[in-house]
Amino acid sequence: MVDGTIGSLLAAAGFVGALGVLIKYFGMVQLIAGYDSDRVTDEEGLATFIGTNTLYVAALLVLVAVVEYTGPFAGTELIWVGFLVGVAAVTARMLVGARRYEDAA
């Protein structure tokens, strides 16, 4: 039986994954926070980069759900610390990496 935490994690993974798919495969760059069409020089590249990284976050959510359900760290804070570090790393990567798709002006 799946408890509320696992269900919430999987629902969040589905939502974040859907956003990643819409951005990466359908080019919906307007879903990217802070998107400015006047500054972006490579919309397709930006969509692929941000969409892929968003899918990484969705995968992290699924991984946390699996570990919380079956893993040796289930019910401990260690998995959440790992998740926080992972999301922070992907976020930093997106913030820094997205700059290469923008005009420097």
**Domain definitions of the chain by residue range:** 4-101
pLDDT digits (tens, 9 = 90+) for 22-61: 999 999 999 999 999 999 999 999 999 999 999 999 999 9
Q: What is the pTM of this model?
A: 0.91
User: Positive or negative, the Cα torsion across 75, 5, 18, 44?
Assistant: negative
How many whole angstroms separate alpha carbon 29 and alpha carbon 38?
13
Q: What percent of the chain has pLDDT over 90?
A: 82
The set of long-range contacts for 62-65, using a CB threshold of 8 Å and a minimum separation of 24, is: 62/9, 62/10, 62/13, 64/9, 65/6, 65/9, 65/10, 65/13
